[in-house]
Structure 1
Amino acid sequence: MDDFVTPRQLAEELGLSDRTVRQWLRDQGWQGVPYTRWRLTEEQAAQVRNHFRRLG
Structure 2
Amino acid sequence: MNPDYSAAWKLLGKALASAGDTAAARTAYESGIACAERMGDKQAQREMQVFLKRLD
Q: Which has the higher contact order (CA 8 A, sep 6+)?
A: 1
- Structure number with higher helix proportion: 2
Report the TM-score range of the alignment, normalised by the length of the smaller protein: 0.3 to 0.5
TM-score of the aligned structures, taking structure 2 as reference length:
0.37
Kindly name which structure, 1 or 2, has the bigger radius of gyration based on alpha carbons. 1
TM-score normalized by structure 1? 0.37
